[in-house]
Every structure is written in C-alpha cells, then in structure tokens.
Amino acid sequence: MAKRPRIRLNRPGVLALMQRAGPPLLKAKAEAVCGRLRAAGYQAGYEMRMDRNGRPVVMVAITEARGLTAQAKYGVVTKAAAMEGLDINRYFVR
C-alpha cells in the first residue's frame, strides 16, 4: 500500500506572499469602509502597519471626538466594515 502524501506549508513563502499581495487589498477595503463612514457624516481615517508576526494589518478609526461614543453606542465602524463583507476582530495594540 502506498504511503499517504504529506503536505507541508511553506510558511516563509506564504508570509512573503501576504506581505506583497495583502496591503493593496487591505487599502482598498479600508478606503471603502472610510467612504461609508464619511457618507454617514463621520471623519474617518486608516493606518496600515505590520503586526508583531509580520502580517499586514489595517486599522480604521473615526477621527473626531464623537467617534468613540458613536462606535460604543451604535457600532458605526463595525457596521460599515460588515457592509463591506469584513469579519471584525478585536486587536489590542501593545
């Protein structure tokens, strides 16, 4: 009986691919989310960076004083991201 084939993931290769291909896709989604927030009457911006594991990350935020209240009370950023088909996860910055 033949041995079962083993599949090994090339982790450095996948990371390199994510670092090249990820930022343009993330930027497009971040701009779309910011556009939805601006259409709702909020000033919004985003910041792109690499996380501690080297993966590209984008953080979208309302850049005005009432932003924290609007997110806490109505979830406007979460709703705008969900309308763009994104899955929302909490990300703690250290």
Measured CA to CA in angstroms, residue 81 lies from 3, 44, 90 at distances of 46, 12, 13
Tens digits of per-residue pLDDT, 38-82?
999 999 999 999 888 888 888 899 999 999 899 999 999 999 999
Angle at 42 between CA 51 and CA 45, to 5 degrees: 25
Q: Percent of the chain at pLDDT above 70?
A: 95
pLDDT at 93: 64
pLDDT at 21: 83
* Percentages of the chain per state (helix, strand, coil), in multiples of 5: 50, 15, 35
CA trace torsion 81, 24, 89, 65 (10° rounding): -60
